[in-house]
């Protein structure tokens, strides 16, 4: 506020000098000329009212949703979470839980509770933590499939430890596939212009109706800025995925149906003589159907359904957009250099596999 006030004050002398210069050209003793300020038109008045109404929506939205957003602290870091139900289950990102079993959970009113891990699902970067507390304000989750580009959203979380902070933006895109630094690929995510900073992870991305449409998870990095955060490009896991995965963990204690495809192999990166990625080496087969289809250890997968897979990440990204039970064709180079094609029915990604 001090900076804004200073700017306004600095502008006054310039304005005064301009008016004084105009006044000096008038005859001595004559009345100064006074500029007529136009009366606001009906359209301008309507616009002001619309902006005030939108501002009121923002204020009410924050008041409604912020009690459902918590801060999750560990011995290493902190992040955010959403109260999933009044029984004390809290959904957050798996990278916020970070392999730990116990946490300190701080509600928006400042009360703290010990939290314990219920379970996680690394494949979708989600985890559920439980606290024993009463009077909790559970969030309401929207149907994220109805989101449209241009929808206004607010991100509520604890960026850099500033508890219960809010930023706003729009839905910039839907259906993105993004990869996290740890190699986890997230399909069908929401891209938003609402600033996503460290500590926002696991928090709430909400629409103007106060419903959670996604969980802010990561921000894009700009190589031209020294791999620092690119402003206005953040990504959130859609609420339909959140309610499905967290709901299974709450109900069964684990994920029983991931709806994510996988081949059933452990792989390593292959490079060519120039050190460039050149395919994905099969080092272990974990699903019997894969062996039955003809894929063997030491085979190199070079494409799936015609999509080149020079790197492990390329293969992971391709699988993220396929479905369990789908039949795919793998281009394979055998150890003796023979190139062949193998058809495989994809399995379902089990819990604990990313």
Q: Which fold has domain 144-252?
A: Thrombin, subunit H (2.40.10)
Query: What pLDDT score does 1 carry?
Result: 35
Active site residues: 95, 125, 201
Residue 18 scores a pLDDT above 90: no
Residue 120 scores a pLDDT above 90: yes
* Average pLDDT rounded to a whole number, residues 2-26: 30
Residues 6+ positions from 340 with CB-CB distance below 8 Å: 294, 331, 332, 333, 334
Q: The whole model's pTM is what?
A: 0.80
* Average pLDDT rounded to a whole number, residues 132-138: 97
Residue predicted with more confidence, 71 or 40: 71
For domain 261-348, which CATH number applies: 1.10.3720.10, 2.30.42.10, 3.40.50.880, 2.40.240.10?
2.30.42.10
Residue percentage of the chain with pLDDT more than 90:
72
Contact predicate 116/130, CB 8 Å: yes
Query: What pLDDT score does 73 carry?
Result: 96
Residue 130 scores a pLDDT above 60: yes
Contact predicate 206/154, CB 8 Å: yes
User: In angstroms, rounded to a whole number, what is the distance separating the alpha carbons of residues 208 and 145?
Assistant: 16
Q: Which residues of 298-332 are buried (b: 16+ CB within 10 A; e: fewer)?
A: ebbbbbbeeeebbbbebbbbbbbebeeeeebebbb
Residue 21 scores a pLDDT above 70: no
342 exposure class (CB count in 10 Å sphere: 0-12, 13-18, 19+) = middle
Which of 26-30, 138-142, 182-186 is predicted most confidently? 138-142
Residue 14 scores a pLDDT above 60: no
Domain locations in the chain as residue ranges: 144-252, 261-348
């Amino acid at each position: 506020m001090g900076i804004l006030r200073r700017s306004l004050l600095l502008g006054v002398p310039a304005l005064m000098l301009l008016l004084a210069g105009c006044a000096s050209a008038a005859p001595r003793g004559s009345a100064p000329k006074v500029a007529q300020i136009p009366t606001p038109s009906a359209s301008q008045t309507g616009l002001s009212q619309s902006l005030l109404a939108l501002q009121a929506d923002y204020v009410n939205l924050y008041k409604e949703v912020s009690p459902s957003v918590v801060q999750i602290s560990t011995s290493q870091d902190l992040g955010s979470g959403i109260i999933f139900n009044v029984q004390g289950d809290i959904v957050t990102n798996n990278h916020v839980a970070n392999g730990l079993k116990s946490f300190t959970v701080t509600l928006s009113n400042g009360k703290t509770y010990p939290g314990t891990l219920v379970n996680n699902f690394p494949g979708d970067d989600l985890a559920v933590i439980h606290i024993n507390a009463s009077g909790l304000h559970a969030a309401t989750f929207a149907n994220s499939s109805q989101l449209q580009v241009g929808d206004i959203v607010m991100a509520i979380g604890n960026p850099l430890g500033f508890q219960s902070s809010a930023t706003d933006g729009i839905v910039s895109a839907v259906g993105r596939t993004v990869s996290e630094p740890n190699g986890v690929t997230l399909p069908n995510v929401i891209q938003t212009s609402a600033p996503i900073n460290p500590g926002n992870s696991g928090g709430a991305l909400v629409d103007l109706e106060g419903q959670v449409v996604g969980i802010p998870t990561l921000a894009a990095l700009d190589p031209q800025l020294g791999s620092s955060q690119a402003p206005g490009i953040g990504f959130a896991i859609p609420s339909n995925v959140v309610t499905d995965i967290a709901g299974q963990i709450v109900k069964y204690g684990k994920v029983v149906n991931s709806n994510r495809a996988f081949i059933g192999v452990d792989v390593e990166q292959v490079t060519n003589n120039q050190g460039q990625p050149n395919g994905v080496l099969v080092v272990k087969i974990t699903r019997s159907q894969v062996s039955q289809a003809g894929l063997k250890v030491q085979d190199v997968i070079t494409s799936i359904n015609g999509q080149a897979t020079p790197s492990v990440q390329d293969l992971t990204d391709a699988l993220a957009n396929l479905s369990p039970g789908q039949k795919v064709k793998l281009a394979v180079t055998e150890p003796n250099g023979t190139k062949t094609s193998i058809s495989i029915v994809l399995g379902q990604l089990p819990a604990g596999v990313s």
